[in-house]
Amino acid sequence: MISVQDQVYDIIAKEASIERARIAPGSTLKDLEISSLDAVQIIFAIEERFEIYMPYNNPSFDVDTVGGLVDTVERLLREKRTA
Amino acid sequence: MHRVVITGMGCISALGHGAEACWQAMREGRSGIGPIAAIPTELLNVRVAAEVKDYDPLAHFDEKRLVLLDRFTQFALIAAREAVAQSGLPRAGGLGEDSAAIIGTGVGGQTTVDDSYRRLYGERVARVHPFTVPRMMANAAASHVSMEFGITGPAFAVSSACASANHAIGLAFDMVRRGQMRAAIAGGSEACITVGSLKGWEALRVLATDTCRPFCRDRRGMVLGEGAGIFVLETLETARARGAPILAELAGFGMSADAADLVLPSEAGAARAIAGALKDAGLAPERIDYINAHGTGTAANDVTETRALRRVFGDHAGRLAVSSTKAVHGHALGAAGAIELVAAVRAITDGVVPPTANFTAPDPDCDLDYVPNEARERTVGAALSNSFAFGGLNAVLALRRVE
Q: Would you call A40 and B264 a contact, using CB atoms and an 8 Å cutoff? A: no
**Does the pLDDT of residue A75 top 90, yes or no?**
yes
**Does the pLDDT of residue B351 top 90, yes or no?**
yes
The whole-angstrom separation of Cα B261 and Cα B201 is 18
The predicted-structure confidence for B106-146, as pLDDT tens digits, reads as follows: 999 999 999 999 999 999 998 889 899 999 999 999 999 99
Catalytic residue among B11, B22, B144, B162: B162
* Chain B residue with minimum CA distance to A44: B203
Which pLDDT belongs to residue A82? 87
Give the minimum alpha-carbon distance from A76 to chain B in angstroms, rounded to a whole number: 15
- If you ran DSSP here, which 8-state letter would residue B379 be given? -
Burial class of residue B122 in the structure, from the number of CB atoms within 10 Å of its CB (0-12 exposed, 13-18 middle, 19+ buried): exposed
* Chain B residue with minimum CA distance to A47: B203
The whole-angstrom separation of Cα B168 and Cα B154 is 12
Q: Would you call B203 and A36 a contact, using CB atoms and an 8 Å cutoff? A: no
Instruction: Please say whether the beta carbons of B105 and B141 come within 8 A.
Output: yes
The whole-angstrom separation of Cα B388 and Cα B386 is 7
Which pLDDT belongs to residue A83? 77
Q: Would you call A43 and B262 a contact, using CB atoms and an 8 Å cutoff? A: no
Catalytic residue among B144, B294, B329, B366: B294
Q: Between A and B, how many residue pairs show a Cβ–Cβ distance under 8 A?
A: 20
The predicted-structure confidence for B235-253, as pLDDT tens digits, reads as follows: 999 999 999 999 999 999 9
Instruction: Please say whether the beta carbons of B172 and B184 come within 8 A.
Output: yes
Strands B99-104 and B183-190: parallel
Between A31-45, B5-19, B21-35, B203-217, the lowest mean confidence (pLDDT) is in A31-45
Which pLDDT belongs to residue B4? 98
Which pLDDT belongs to residue A36? 84
Catalytic residue among B17, B167, B329, B331: B331
Domain of A43 in residue numbering reads as 4-82
Closest alpha carbon to B321 in B301, B351, B291, B299: B291
**pLDDT tier at B51 (50, 70, 90 boundaries)?**
very high
Instruction: Please say whether the beta carbons of B333 and B49 come within 8 A.
Output: no
Mean pLDDT for chain B overall: 97
Nearest to A57 among B204, B208, B263 (CB): B208
H or E stretch covering B321: strand B321-323
Tell whether B261 lies on the interface with A, counting CB pairs under 8 A.
Answer: yes
The whole-angstrom separation of Cα B379 and Cα B376 is 10
Provide mean pLDDT across the span B255-269: 95
Q: What angle do CA B74, B167, B350 make, to 5 degrees?
A: 75
B60 is catalytic: no
B331 is catalytic: yes
Provide mean pLDDT across the span B27-32: 98
Tell whether B262 lies on the interface with A, counting CB pairs under 8 A.
Answer: yes
Instruction: Please say whether the beta carbons of B213 and B322 come within 8 A.
Output: no
Q: What angle do CA B147, B251, B248 make, to 5 degrees?
A: 70
Beta bridge partners of B228: B12, B189
Nearest to A43 among B205, B208, B261 (CB): B205
Question: Domain total for chain A?
Answer: 1
Burial class of residue B284 in the structure, from the number of CB atoms within 10 Å of its CB (0-12 exposed, 13-18 middle, 19+ buried): exposed
Which pLDDT belongs to residue A37? 86
CATH label of the domain that carries residue A67 = 1.10.1200.10
Give the minimum alpha-carbon distance from B204 to chain A in angstroms, rounded to a whole number: 6
The whole-angstrom separation of Cα B301 and Cα B307 is 10
Give the Cβ contact number of residue B286 at 10 Å.
13
The whole-angstrom separation of Cα B164 and Cα B389 is 8
**Does the pLDDT of residue B302 top 80, yes or no?**
yes
The whole-angstrom separation of Cα B52 and Cα B31 is 12
Instruction: Please say whether the beta carbons of B250 and B169 come within 8 A.
Output: yes
Nearest to B221 among A36, A53, A57 (CB): A57
Which pLDDT belongs to residue A56? 76
The predicted-structure confidence for A28-73, as pLDDT tens digits, reads as follows: 988 999 988 888 899 999 999 999 998 877 767 777 899 999 999 9
B294 is catalytic: yes
Closest alpha carbon to B248 in B401, B19, B353: B401
The predicted-structure confidence for B141-188, as pLDDT tens digits, reads as follows: 999 999 999 999 999 999 999 999 999 999 999 999 999 999 999 999
Nearest to B263 among A37, A53, A57 (CB): A37
The runs of H, that is alpha helices, within B59-206 are: 63-66, 71-87, 110-117, 132-136, 140-149, 164-177, 195-204
Give the Cβ contact number of residue B339 at 10 Å.
35
Distance between terminal CA atoms of chain A? 23
The whole-angstrom separation of Cα B396 and Cα B388 is 8
- Percent of all residues in chain B with a pLDDT value above 90, rounded to a whole number: 97
Beta bridge partners of B216: B362
